[in-house]
Structure 1
Amino acid sequence: MKWEGQRESDNVEDARGGGGGGGGFPMLGGRGIGIGGIVIALLASWAFGINPLTVLSALDGSTVQTGGEQRPVAPSHPQDAPARFVSVVLADTEEVWTQLFQAGGKTYQAPKLRLFEGSEPTACGMGQAAMGPFYCPGDSKVYIDLSFYQTLRERLGAPGDFAQAYVIAHEVGHHVQHQLGITQKVEAARRRQSEQAANATSVRVELQADCFAGVWAHHSQQTKGWLEAGDVEEALNAAAKIGDDTLQRNAGRAVVPESFTHGTSEQRQRWFKRGMAQGDLRDCDTFAARQI
């Protein structure tokens, strides 16, 4: 991926090294969540979901408390290569989605991307590095501890810069859902559903974010031509590694489709490819699809 020399985003907040929200576990309903809950949330958030804090909240049966004030950080252009890469990818998502929203008669409000280490208070609760990257609709921010990329490469077996770009594009896809009002409608529906039905709805949410990531990739390549041989395969490999069925098998558990919240490896790859094929948002209506 030829990313060097490309524009960097002005929407990056670099909170690394500032202590973030401190150590410890997220607080739910006034109580701490033990390491077992963190591990379960980690398995779910490895699929790059909307917000792994939702998983912890579900485990505890209560609401998430913020756990502290977020330290103000001015937008910056980090100098280290991993952070610069993320900033370049974010900048390109801004350009693509601004154009696509304008074509639809809408205005795109770009999200902030906050780099942190260890833990960080958010409008959705206390974020932990162990949860992986996530998007918080409460403050319209994507959160990532860049050490996740080492996990992606070494533990999940998904190396490559475009695999890393896919992570950002997926989370931005959730922001697009929020901007379009999809997130709000889905959350209202899930509150009225059984656990199994809510899980099925979550799968459609996640697959649509994968499809939106593919839409971005299509238009990004059309404009910049910066993808190289093997880049798309890197993203598809990442999608395969974080399918619910693959995660359950790798954890030594039985594959239980009723428990899926993100989709199978095959589904995640297919919806990413579907979005990338034509770059058309209309191809990403997972909620209207009879079979996903």
Structure 2
Amino acid sequence: MRHSRIAFLVVLALVVTGCSNAIPGRPVAAKVVNNEGIDTAVVRGTDGGRIDQLAATALTDIEQFWTDASQPTFNKPWQKLTGGYYSVDTSDNTAKPPPCTQKASDVEGNAFYCPAADAIAWDRTALLPVLEDKFGQAAVVIVLAHEMGHAVQRRMGITPEAERREPERFPTILTEAMADCFAGSFIRWVNDGKSDHLDIGSNTLDSALGALITFRDPVGTSPTDEQAHGSAFDRVAAFQDGYEQGTKFCAAMTVQNRVFTQRAFTNADDRATGGNLPFAKMLESITPDLDGYYASIAQQLGKTWTPPKAEASQTEPDCSGNQGPVAYCPSAKSIAVDVKEELPALHAELGDYATGVLLASRYGMAELAVLGKPLEGEDASRSALCLAGAYTGSVLAREKGFGLSPGDMDEAVNVLLEYDYAARDSKGGSALEPGFKRVAVFREGVFEGPKKCGVG
């Protein structure tokens, strides 16, 4: 009955709104490019302005990366793009269209690789400056690195003809993931200090990944859709794999060895709500499920799980430090949940599984306490977050009962990139930084289970 009590208190306390207030703690976009020595004349249709200087600089170093990486990855030298680069002013009705298009407006809000011409084109008025303004210069770099990834695929023999001939072997969601993976490998090269003109550190990477998420598929898109590009979780996962594993790993991706979490809606009710439960209903549904999952881990390890007492709080919980809107209180063996301010706002802003991730990580902290593990320090933060991922992976695999809706994995990515709450220890400290690292630890739990989390 504990969970019913929480839900009742939430109903009393929650003020339902259509939007939420801005909450601090977002990554900051930063300047990453040194344009010195870069000539925009290599870009066809350029106006010679700042945006095309940024694009030309990025592509100069992306080309250098593949000049270095092609031989060790594919046992053959890099072939420069024969069709070059095209910048398009989509606000100009008289602008000459780039290859693969009929008119300049066809490029609006887009960047793409044209395999027929072996060329890359972009909208310099309604795409690149928007990305830069919202996510920072690194976002522009990542988008262009992704498009170059498609040029790499053409050199691998993954052409439009091959995709049409063998759609089961080269589904769009796979080729897009591979391009994201190649982009991640390039960014790692930059991050390792090998780039002449780019500087993308952890303070810019989190924000830049927001651009990748922007180009995710609409929630509920089937992974078999011929236009599927992947969910935010799948796209960030591919990018991280490239960053961590390198170009050979990306080139070896297949439908057999790649796991995609993207799901289509399976019922009308889920589609109508966008897969999101109201805040009170989410708490009522997930807390008993969390109890059951963590009890099973404790039992497997010869321990007795005592469900933590769940308590509703009208403000950010204040127990053993600042853990955020959900906190594990070791002395009381309780989980305190902010049902009035930040957590409901975060729930409304990011979706119901943002709430789920925060709850799962604090239940993970309770699991560490039951197992006699340390509750403070980076190892504790990592384990709690990893356990939240392990719980998520178990729910993702279910066919019946409480389960994840399309979009829930994306909500997990968003809350982990934007906030560090799920990766704080029981004192509210030792949070894992940056968000890129938090997502990586969460993914380990999702795909490898609780043994990866240091509780075995």
TM-score scaled by structure 1?
0.65
Match for 2:138: what amino acid?
F
Tell me whether 94-103 or 201-210 shows the greater mean CA deviation: 94-103
| Distance (whole Å) between structure 2 residues aligned to residue 115 and residue 122 of structure 1 | 8
After TM superposition, the structure 1 = structure 2 runs for residues 181-260 of structure 1, keeping only pairs within 5 Å, are: 181-183=157-159, 187-191=161-165, 193=167, 201-222=171-192, 223-224=194-195, 226-244=199-217, 248-249=218-219, 255-259=221-225
Task: Report what 2:112 is aligned to.
Answer: 134
Match of residue 149, structure 1, among 89, 109, 128: 128
| Distance (whole Å) between structure 2 residues aligned to residue 11 and residue 215 of structure 1 | 27
Task: Report what 1:35 is aligned to.
Answer: none
| Distance (whole Å) between structure 1 residues aligned to residue 54 and residue 33 of structure 2 | 7
Alignment deviations for residues 122-145 of structure 1 (CA, whole Å, 9 cap, x no partner)? 442325232511110111110012
- Does the CA-based 8 Å contact 1:7-1:91 persist in structure 2? no
> CA distance change for structure 1 residues 15 and 152 in 2, over 3 Å: closer, same or farther?
same
The higher relative CO (CA closer than 8 Å, separation ≥ 6) is in 1
| Distance (whole Å) between structure 1 residues aligned to residue 210 and residue 107 of structure 2 | 22
Gaps of at least 5 residues in structure 1 are: 18-77
Task: Report what 1:277 is aligned to.
Answer: 244
Task: Report what 2:86 is aligned to.
Answer: 114
TM-score scaled by structure 2?
0.43
Shift of 1:238: 1.5
| Distance (whole Å) between structure 2 residues aligned to residue 258 and residue 181 of structure 1 | 22
Match for 2:128: what amino acid?
Y
Task: Report what 1:291 is aligned to.
Answer: 259
Shift of 1:165: 0.7
- When the two chains are superposed, the root-mean-square deviation of aligned CA atoms in Å is 2.7
Alignment deviations for residues 158-184 of structure 1 (CA, whole Å, 9 cap, x no partner)? 421111111110001111111221225
- Does the CA-based 8 Å contact 2:87-2:122 persist in structure 1? yes
Task: Report what 2:313 is aligned to.
Answer: none
Match of residue 152, structure 2, among 152, 176, 181: 176
Task: Report what 1:100 is aligned to.
Answer: 69
Q: Which runs of 4+ in 1 moved over 6 A?
A: none
Paired positions, count: 215
Say if 2:229 is the partner of 1:262: yes
| Distance (whole Å) between structure 2 residues aligned to residue 285 and residue 234 of structure 1 | 28
| Distance (whole Å) between structure 2 residues aligned to residue 105 and residue 9 of structure 1 | 31
Task: Report what 1:26 is aligned to.
Answer: none
> CA distance change for structure 1 residues 2 and 291 in 2, over 3 Å: closer, same or farther?
closer
- Does the CA-based 8 Å contact 1:212-1:281 persist in structure 2? no
| Distance (whole Å) between structure 1 residues aligned to residue 62 and residue 97 of structure 2 | 25
> CA distance change for structure 1 residues 168 and 290 in 2, over 3 Å: closer, same or farther?
closer
> CA distance change for structure 1 residues 2 and 163 in 2, over 3 Å: closer, same or farther?
closer
| Distance (whole Å) between structure 1 residues aligned to residue 41 and residue 76 of structure 2 | 20
| Distance (whole Å) between structure 2 residues aligned to residue 280 and residue 256 of structure 1 | 27
